[in-house]
């Protein structure tokens, strides 16, 4: 994997799943990963329910537009992740291909899109851990804080 890996997310319309995945990867990995998304049959606009559910988590994708899948986009990417587009993604040697099985948010309301959004976030977090883990000397994202614990009910433990 190069210093800055490149990921391409592909779904049929590039209006839902691939847009959410690209937005999550951009948010969570920052400049450690180059991010692309495209569709085999791109829609005219991003799904409004997808825009709204991403806004709920502080990510604005309202200005994104669906893009057509090109051979050049695949060639320029180290990892190509498909989401329900079948065999539409061209295959080139030396690329890594993953297929994420996700429900299609097309025609769904925000309540139905939220679990898809959250599932995509989890998959993106796993991908980041594998291809672009945080540099311990300067993580690109804020470190995770441990869950709050209840104060001890007895005397504190002796320090080592």
Catalytic residue among 22, 23, 25, 85: 85
CATH of the domain at 97: 3.40.50.2300
User: Does residue 141 carry a pLDDT above 90?
Assistant: no
Q: Is 71 exposed, middle or buried (0-12, 13-18, 19+ CB in 10 A)?
A: exposed
38, 68 in Cβ contact below 8 A? yes
Tokens of 59: 């990510």
Q: Note if 85 is an active site residue.
A: yes
Q: Note if 89 is an active site residue.
A: yes
Provide the residue range defining the domain that includes 97.
6-131
- At residue 3 the predicted structure's pLDDT band, cuts being 50, 70 and 90, is confident
User: Does residue 157 carry a pLDDT above 60?
Assistant: no
Domain assignment present for 59: yes
Domain assignment present for 113: yes
Domain assignment present for 42: yes
Mean pLDDT of 15-34: 97
Domain assignment present for 159: no
Catalytic residue among 7, 8, 10, 11: 11
- pTM given for the model: 0.81
Domain assignment present for 60: yes
Number of domains making up the chain: 1
Domain assignment present for 93: yes
Note the pLDDT of residue 39.
93
Phi/psi at 123 (5° precision): -65, -40
Q: How far is CA 117 from CA 17, 33, 110, 129, in A?
A: 8, 20, 10, 19
Note the pLDDT of residue 156.
37
Domain assignment present for 49: yes
Domain assignment present for 160: no
Catalytic residue among 89, 116, 120, 131: 89
CA distance 60 to 64: 9
């Amino acid at each position: 994997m190069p210093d800055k890996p490149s990921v391409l997310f592909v779904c049929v319309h590039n209006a839902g799943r691939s847009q959410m995945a690209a937005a999550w990867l951009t948010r969570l990995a920052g400049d450690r990963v180059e991010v692309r998304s495209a569709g085999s049959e791109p829609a005219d606009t991003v799904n409004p329910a997808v825009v709204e559910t991403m806004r709920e988590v502080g990510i604005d994708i309202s200005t994104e537009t669906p893009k057509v899948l090109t051979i050049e986009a695949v060639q320029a990417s180290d990892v190509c992740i498909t989401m329900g587009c079948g065999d539409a993604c061209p295959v080139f040697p030396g690329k890594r291909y993953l297929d994420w099985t996700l429900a299609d948010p097309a025609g769904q309301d925000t309540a139905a899109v939220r679990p898809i959004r959250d599932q995509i976030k989890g998959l993106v977090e796993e991908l980041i851990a594998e291809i672009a883990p945080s540099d311990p000397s300067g993580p690109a994202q804020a470190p995770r804080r441990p869950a709050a614990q209840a104060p001890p009910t007895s005397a504190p433990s002796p320090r080592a």
